[in-house]
Structure 1
């Protein structure tokens, strides 16, 4: 428990827990909407916020949050209305965000002394008390939206046309998903890094989907995986002196590989059991081989 004797590790562990909860909570909606790389794009845009924070001598977390929200809303509007050259507009937004962040940082008072690497790939030692306060506030917003509007967000993520017919404000909910994704990127920025946060939003969800069959179960398992790998990566970083963001993401990928390996025989058993049940229902006696397989 010596890890808790250090104030910077206490802050890092708290931030890791919040990141592990919020990233999959929002990522599950992005995966359902087939927008798994949206977090990566927001991370590029957030770099402009980081550079602007350095230039204004303000906390980069808050400034990056504001810029990320504006960029996410613009991305969602491009998706809604930019039917012809929407992909080009998004590419310009992503690359411009990254380039703008580097340029603004170079013009800031910190200049070359600004530690951009800690924002790109995460850093435990640089998580300040002010960062923790910002992360807690932003994480509370993400959790409140994810739980309070889970039914509406699920309906929109599954089928926008059906949700529109039922009277849900589809456009407003889509914009809300984009905003929560932007806030999540900001929350995870100090622990995982802007370039790797998208993986923590997607990989735990993809791993949970290997073994779960309902949205609720996938949500719960993905949050558990996200929290576990975030804490595991943070602790590993303390003892082994390795980059936190890369460690967390590799742990999440390892969990995905294990779950995918376990899911293959489980899926075969379910299929055989369903086939045997269907045969019994139709009055067809299943073959001995099928029955033996189901018992196994």
Structure 2
């Protein structure tokens, strides 16, 4: 035990560890806030679809040698979130089919472009890093950290300000529309915020694991609480704790950051499921 404490004390002397913790915790917090809404609206896999879109956009940015991929990936992902929302409301293409169509298409095109117009010697390594996360979370600059802090603050503020509208749209969209609530606007807000969070989270867990940050904390909180606000708060706490311990375990054990965080989320889900069963009895 003393050896672990000494190792942690040693690592916490370096700024990159603090940067990773700050960014990881903020991304986990933002993901958990919208996760409850997406799960209740049966739209959990929008994270999957948009993460694959972000992967495709990142491949295009790499091929075009953009100095800052974020300036290209973020707008493309947001636009696709809007298109996905509009397409999902179509009577011809339902929400799940639209997500699958965009998800698979973007993933295939991204991988194709990375192979045909390869700019690096290790294509497999680049693809693996993009899909499952990379060590870039441990090489963040102060500018990137501040960008994440600002964007995360905007996301949290928007969620708090429009909390009651999001609540209404989540539970009974038809009733909310009947009472004069502009449901299309708030659905659009949810989609855009989700897209922003996904782009931020790509360096943390990779495009294939982003949905775990959105889904697992929400499902874990639902095992313990039934009220919307209680679930939101519990989900945020669980997500932040899982991100913190996941990053610490990753640094100590030398394991992939994204996969470790998701593994901790899965463990938390099983623990909360057991506690929920006990409470029901």
Regarding TM over 0.5, the answer is yes
Pairing 1:71–2:80 present: yes
1:120–1:193 contact (8 Å) kept in structure 2: yes
Pairing 1:21–2:29 present: yes
Gap runs ≥5 in structure 2? 1-8
Report the counterpart of residue 195 of structure 2 in structure 1. Answer: 182
Whole-angstrom CA distance in 2 between matches of 1:60 and 1:117: 17
SS of alignment partner, residue 59 of structure 1: coil
Whole-angstrom CA distance in 1 between matches of 2:108 and 2:144: 24
Question: What CA RMSD, in Å, does the superposition of the two structures yield over aligned residues?
Answer: 1.9
Moved more, 194-203 or 132-141: 132-141
Moved more, 108-117 or 20-29: 108-117
Closer, same or farther: CA 139–104 of 1 in aligned 2, 3 Å:
farther
Pairing 1:44–2:77 present: no
Larger Rg: 1
Pairing 1:118–2:126 present: no
Matches within 5 A, 1:1-296: 1-54=9-62, 55-81=64-90, 83-86=91-94, 87-106=96-115, 110-113=119-122, 115-123=126-134, 124-268=137-281
SS of alignment partner, residue 186 of structure 1: helix
How far does residue 148 in structure 1 lie from its aligned partner after superposition?
1.1
Alpha-carbon displacement from aligned partner over 1:118-167 (angstroms, at most 9, x marks no partner): 33222333434443233223212221221111110010011111110111
Whole-angstrom CA distance in 2 between matches of 1:113 and 1:7: 29
1:51–1:108 contact (8 Å) kept in structure 2: no
Whole-angstrom CA distance in 2 between matches of 1:5 and 1:52: 37
SS of alignment partner, residue 191 of structure 1: helix
Q: TM-score if structure 1 supplies the norm length?
A: 0.84
Moved more, 239-248 or 103-112: 103-112
Closer, same or farther: CA 7–113 of 1 in aligned 2, 3 Å:
farther
Whole-angstrom CA distance in 2 between matches of 1:41 and 1:138: 21
Closer, same or farther: CA 130–97 of 1 in aligned 2, 3 Å:
farther
Alpha-carbon displacement from aligned partner over 1:69-127 (angstroms, at most 9, x marks no partner): 1111111001112x223454433311221123224444667334573333322233343
SS of alignment partner, residue 89 of structure 2: helix
Closer, same or farther: CA 133–60 of 1 in aligned 2, 3 Å:
farther
Whole-angstrom CA distance in 1 between matches of 2:61 and 2:147: 14
2:25–2:244 contact (8 Å) kept in structure 1: yes
Whole-angstrom CA distance in 2 between matches of 1:89 and 1:224: 32
Whole-angstrom CA distance in 2 between matches of 1:32 and 1:250: 23
How far does residue 62 in structure 1 lie from its aligned partner after superposition?
3.4
Gap runs ≥5 in structure 1? 269-296
How far does residue 4 in structure 1 lie from its aligned partner after superposition?
2.0
How far does residue 245 in structure 1 lie from its aligned partner after superposition?
1.0
Closer, same or farther: CA 252–12 of 1 in aligned 2, 3 Å:
same
How far does residue 36 in structure 1 lie from its aligned partner after superposition?
1.1
Closer, same or farther: CA 16–89 of 1 in aligned 2, 3 Å:
closer
